[in-house]
Amino acid sequence: MASSRPNIVFMLLDNVGYGDPGCYGGGITRMAPTPRVDGLAAQGLRLTNFNVEAECTPTRAALLTGRMPIRTGCDRVRFGEKNGLAPWEYTLAQLLADVGYDTAIYGKWHLGNVPERHPTAMGFGEWYGIQDSTDPVFDHFNVGKGIRKRSTQIWEGTAGEPAVPVGEYTPEARRLIDAEVTDRACRFIADHAGGDRPFFLYVPFTMIHHPSLPHPDFAGRSGNGDFADSMMEVDHYSGRIIDAVDAAGIGGDTIVVWASDNGPPSHGTLGPQGDPGPFRGCLGTALEGQLRVPCVIRWPGHIEPGRVSDDIVSVLDFYVTFANLTGGRVPTDRAIDSLDIGPLLDGSGPSPREHLIAFVRDTLAAVKWHQYKLHLVEFTTEPGRRYKLELEFPQLYNVAADPKEQWDILGTNLWIAEVAQEIAADFFSTMVEFPNVPAGADAPPGVEPVAT
């Protein structure tokens, strides 16, 4: 297979914090060693300034569209309504399928709860997993006498046919689902390796999202509770997928990415959860402990082993990067916020990203420029509670010198605030030419709901 058409295996973890894997300072220090992820980092590139969105749905939408979630109607997790990506969006899976890739997703979708927004209607040839979050598993613990619990399903489907439920997502199923996801991913790799068509395999594990209920084979293994057991479990599954790539003899033709979708949650309903490492903040905020998460990328022969980069990278950036590596077409009829990090991957140059904009739902919360970060609104959390703090004045931090964002330096650096505000103004100006897709709508206002 030509190196210009690599296979892509993208493993996305749910709510793993910066400080959880061993290669980011966690692992054995949390009594949850992660030798397989650590080994993957040693074989490739470890990003220390990789940034995601404030919740599960926004991050996944950003990855698959290269567009800020505020543009796609996916700025938050929504309940009880038609949600997720509009059929008009042109997903990374569609982009790759259009240039000859076989595509599959095994795991958590969280980008649509109706058939026309399921993954098999949006570019994926195969799907097995859950439609939304793991949260409904809690319903099985909290049902009162005479109260009927919600039934949350595991789904399976192929392109061209409606997906169907194949089992209830119960606490027992929660313990088993990622083993099944891994089995299917490994089979897909074996079946598609060395064929005439490259493949895109997206593996959004349900772990480590609470409740962290480990598989029976891993329960008690860490000696440090369910979360540590589950971290060891998903490290094992990640290793199995890596091994499947290598056993098929396609390591040099395959980009493997391992990343998280969010920082850790603000509460541990069933015990301790993830760790933000040296940063402050958690899921649902614009603090570094939420924005920065682990991301390692391996591509033998293209990415030098053992590299570490602190360049700013966004989850948005995989869209254009993969399009350029594969000959895919990036749409021009909509705003695309993704940048090409190809030079960063092969070592020929830095990341082109000098800034990023952090929304929490539909609120612009912060602007990050080089090592500086301007907070316009602060979202902060205590266990089980979230606060939106209206700031009398913006707050400016040097996150390289002050990773916990505690020392406001605005007073002596007003010019940096002006730069950040210009960045925000430029972003909002693009919404005039390219209006946002309202949540639940099938296309932007005045546009036919068909991708072009």
Tens of pLDDT, residues 171-228:
999 999 999 999 999 999 999 998 999 999 999 999 999 899 999 999 999 999 999 9
Choice among 23, 56, 74, 282 that is catalytic? 56
Collect the ranges in the chain with pLDDT lower than 70. Answer: 1-4, 142-150, 267-271, 381-386, 450-452
DSSP state of 84: B
Q: Where in the chain is the domain with CATH 3.30.1120.10?
A: 356-433
Question: In CATH, what is the architecture of 7-141+149-353?
Answer: 3-Layer(aba) Sandwich (3.40)
* 388-392 contact pairs (CB < 8 A, 24+): 388/360, 388/363
Q: Are 218 and 233 in contact (CB under 8 A)?
A: yes
Q: What is the pLDDT of residue 1?
A: 32
Instruction: Count CA within 13 A, CB hemisphere, residue 28.
Output: 4
Q: Which of 267, 262, 268 is nearest to 293 (CA)?
A: 262
Do the strands 363-369 and 372-382 form a parallel or antiparallel pair, or are they unpaired? Answer: antiparallel
Q: What is the pLDDT of residue 384?
A: 57
**56 among known catalytic residues:** yes
Choice among 110, 236, 355, 375 that is catalytic? 110
Angle at 218 between CA 34 and CA 106, to 5 degrees: 75
Q: What is the pLDDT of residue 4?
A: 66
**356-433 fold:** Arylsulfatase, C-terminal domain (3.30.1120)
Q: What is the pLDDT of residue 342?
A: 98
Alpha carbon distance 428, 431 (integer Å): 5
Q: What is the pLDDT of residue 41?
A: 98
Q: Where in the chain is the domain with CATH 3.40.720.10?
A: 7-141+149-353
Per-residue tokens: 318: 């995989």
- What is the pTM assigned to this prediction? 0.96
**110 among known catalytic residues:** yes
